[in-house]
Structure formats: structure tokens, C-alpha cells
Amino acid sequence: MEDEIDRIFYRAKQGKILFANHGALSPEYIPEKLPFRDQQTTVIAEVLAPVLHGSRPSNLLLYGKTGTGKTAVTRYVLSKLLSGGESKVVVAYVNTRLANTEYRTLAEFAQAVGVRVPFTGLSTGEVTSRIFKEIQLRGNLVILVLDEIDYLVKTFGDEVLYEFTRSNERLLPGLLSLVGISNDLKFKEGLDPRVLSSLSEEEMVFPPYTVEELKEILGERAQTAFKPGVASQAAINLCAAMAGSEHGDARRAIDLLRIAGEVAEREGLKEIDDMCIKKASDKMEHDRVEEAIRSLPVQTKAVLLATSKFKEGTNTGELYLAYTTLCRRTGIEVLTQRRVSGILAELDLLGLIEASVVSKGRRGRTKRIQLLIGEQILGKIMSEDTALAAAA
């Protein structure tokens, strides 16, 4: 045991053994060049360029699945744009899913243009008009990037976008251009046609990376990130294949490589082998699940816990009964079946359970519900929750 601790500390003192530049595999890292994205880079640059001589760039809509380089390319182009030192140009970048609400999206936008707003209390309209006032006052040339814009529209509607797209007369001498980034290729469907036509003055699609392309991307990153000989071609190929088999997700592939490197380092290996990658992949999945559960509200956890009582899966009625019992035992308030039904839908969306509607003819329609996660993880997290510890 002591030996183990000594070894850990010793290695820590040695500093990074395998990594030369850990940051090169972090999600925020913007590489020198982005392979296989020349066309997209050029187009975006061309669309945005007019801002440098004070005219309004067309609004731009970027499509593509996760990890296809949309955000990276956009950031890359914007950083180049700003490096010119054009002081009137302001770039605001907001990831609407991370911002999580319409208000916080606006608040982040406000902060980027230099308006201070309280983190709650104002109406969204008030925040918008303060932002506009500020832009007009300073005559700023603003490029607003709305990452995961499909989330914004899906959850809060497109009214904000409508206001943005038709704000330009009010902003003179300032201006506002939108860059929307969407993971969802069908997101245009639900959009107000006026917003759509304005928002997609220009469009650009990001195709998924092929496994071959992922190999090259990983290879380049690995060269900067690791010391020589740490990440073999075989290791890189495996990472690319494991992460990219579904839809060419570069972010996943890079995460996987990074974590595999950390595993190798922790285990005192000199290079990344297949086992490291396998372990890294498991760890990523495990972390995702654990974090998802931990941040759940009590009632949602309770429903999840009730689900875990049925090894063979169950249906809504049966589950609701089990849930009710569980609540009584733990002293948690019992919610209506309607609400529990809603919670089940949320859990399904999170991929923690599988719930699909089935019809049993005259014996009604219900949901077939099945737990998708290991009970050990569940038990561990539930026992952390004071309200539920007894039931875990």
C-alpha cells in the first residue's frame, strides 16, 4: 500500500511522463490547421470577411453531427478574424445547450458585448433591448455564434431569433450577424419561414469524418500531445475505429485517445496499448452515466430506483406501484402517475432506461420499461443521496 502511494507521488513529481502537451487533446484546443475542412474554412471566412470593412456579413447556418468540426472550424476562423485587431468587431459565442435557458443564452450574449446583467430577474425582452442599445451606442460589428441552435429553438421557440434577424435597422451604426450551428439536420422544419430565410442566407454542411480521416487527425494531435513512441499507429487506428464507427465523431475520438493516455500513464506503461483504450472507452461510458444520474432531481432518482427493482423490465402501472411504495418507505412525496410518466420519458431521453410504447390489445397500452445501466453504479449514487439512501 505504502509502496503504491510512493509510486503515485513519485510519478507525479516526475511530471508528465507520457504527455508532452496534454492540452492538445482537450476539447478547447484549436489546432494550427484543421485537416479535411479546407472548404468549410474558406466558405466561412468568405462569408464573414465583409465585417472587416464594416458591412454586414450574411447570416450563416452550419450543419453537421457532433464531432464533425463545426465548432472548431468556426472558432478557428473567428480567432483569425479577431487577430487582425479590428476593434469594432465583437464576437459572441454561446452554446445554447450549455447555457440551458433562453435567459442565460441572452445573458451570455450580453456579457460578450459588454452589458452587465443580473443572472436573473429581468425579462428576456429587457435583456435584448439592453444588448441592442449597447451595440448601437458603440457601433459594434457583432457576430453572434449560437452553437447548438437546434436546442434553443426546440426548447424555447424561435422568437428570439426572429428579433435578432430583424434588428439591424435599430442597431445602426452597429450591426449583428448570426452564425447558427446545428447538430440536427432537420431542425429547419419547425422554423418560422421568415426566420429561416433570414438565418440561412448562407449554409454549409459538415459531413462526418471517415475513419481514415480520423486516423490522420488523431495522428497529428498525438504528435503534439504525446512524447515520441507513446501512441503507436496501431493505437491511433483503434481509437479512430472505436470512436468513429458510428458517425465519424472526432471529439469522441480525441477524448478517447486522451483518456487512454491517462490510463497508460497511471498504470506506469511506456505506451498506449489496446487494453488502455478499452479501459478508456469503458471509463467514458461510466462517467457519462454516473454524472447523468448524480445531477438528477430526487423524484427522478426515485423513479429510476423503482425501475431497478424489476430485473425483467416492467410496465407503467406496475412501476408506479413500486414507486409509490418506495416513496412511502423513504418519506418522499408521492407524485401523480402523469408526472411519473413524464419522468420516465426524461429518463428514456437520457438513455438511462429504455421505454417504448406497446399495445397489449384489450389489456391496454403501456410502456415497456427496462433499466439500461448497471445496478452497482445506481446503488453507489443513490446511497450518496440522503433522501434515498435507505431505499438503495
Partner DNA sequence: CATCCACAGGAAGGACGGGGGT
Partner DNA sequence: ACCCCCGTCCTTCCTGTGGATG
Distance CA(224)–CA(222), nearest Å, equals 5
Residue 103 CB, shortest distance to DNA, in Å, is 4
Q: Is 363 in the site for DNA (CB under 7 A)?
A: yes
Cell digits for 216? Answer: 490522420
**Binder of DNA out of 335, 352, 381, 391 (CB under 7 A):** 335
**Binder of DNA out of 300, 327, 347, 388 (CB under 7 A):** 300
Q: Is 23 in the site for DNA (CB under 7 A)?
A: no
C-alpha distances out from residue 376 to 141, 174, 253, 349, Å: 53, 57, 27, 21
Count CB-CB contacts under 10 A for residue 176: 25
Q: Specify whether the CB–CB gap between 241 and 44 falls below 8 A.
A: no
Q: Is 361 in the site for DNA (CB under 7 A)?
A: yes
Segment contacting DNA (CB under 7 A): 8-16, 31-39, 57-65, 297-305?
297-305
Cell digits for 334? Answer: 408521492
Residue 99 CB, shortest distance to DNA, in Å, is 10
**How many amino acids of this chain bind DNA (CB under 7 A)?**
43
Binding positions for DNA, 64-83, rule CB under 7 A: none
Q: Is 294 in the site for DNA (CB under 7 A)?
A: no
Residue 126 CB, shortest distance to DNA, in Å, is 7
Segment contacting DNA (CB under 7 A): 51-59, 64-72, 136-144, 311-319?
311-319
**Binder of DNA out of 140, 299, 371, 385 (CB under 7 A):** 299
Distance CA(51)–CA(286), nearest Å, equals 45
Segment contacting DNA (CB under 7 A): 36-44, 67-75, 159-167, 359-367?
359-367
Residue 4 CB, shortest distance to DNA, in Å, is 40
* Residue whose CB is less far from DNA, 133 or 247: 133
Q: Is 111 in the site for DNA (CB under 7 A)?
A: no
Q: Is 370 in the site for DNA (CB under 7 A)?
A: no
**Binder of DNA out of 315, 324, 330, 370 (CB under 7 A):** 315
**Binder of DNA out of 14, 362, 376, 386 (CB under 7 A):** 362
Q: Specify whether the CB–CB gap between 57 and 197 falls below 8 A.
A: no
221: nearest Cα among 37, 33, 73 = 33
215: nearest Cα among 231, 200, 192, 195 = 231
Phi, psi of 50 (to 5 degrees): -55, -25
For 92-110, letters b (16+ CB in 10 Å) and e give bbbbbbebeebbebbbbbb
Segment contacting DNA (CB under 7 A): 69-77, 119-127, 184-192, 219-227?
119-127
Binding positions for DNA, 168-227, rule CB under 7 A: none
Q: Is 118 in the site for DNA (CB under 7 A)?
A: yes
Q: Is 339 in the site for DNA (CB under 7 A)?
A: yes
Segment contacting DNA (CB under 7 A): 76-84, 85-93, 183-191, 330-338?
330-338
226: which strand partners? 19
310: CB partners within 8 A, 6+ apart: 318, 319, 322, 369, 371
**Binder of DNA out of 15, 338, 376, 386 (CB under 7 A):** 338
C-alpha distances out from residue 230 to 221, 238, 239, 262, 265, Å: 12, 14, 14, 11, 10
Distance CA(342)–CA(340), nearest Å, equals 5
Residues that bind DNA (CB under 7 A): 100-104, 118-126, 297-300, 315-318, 334-339, 341-345, 357, 359-367
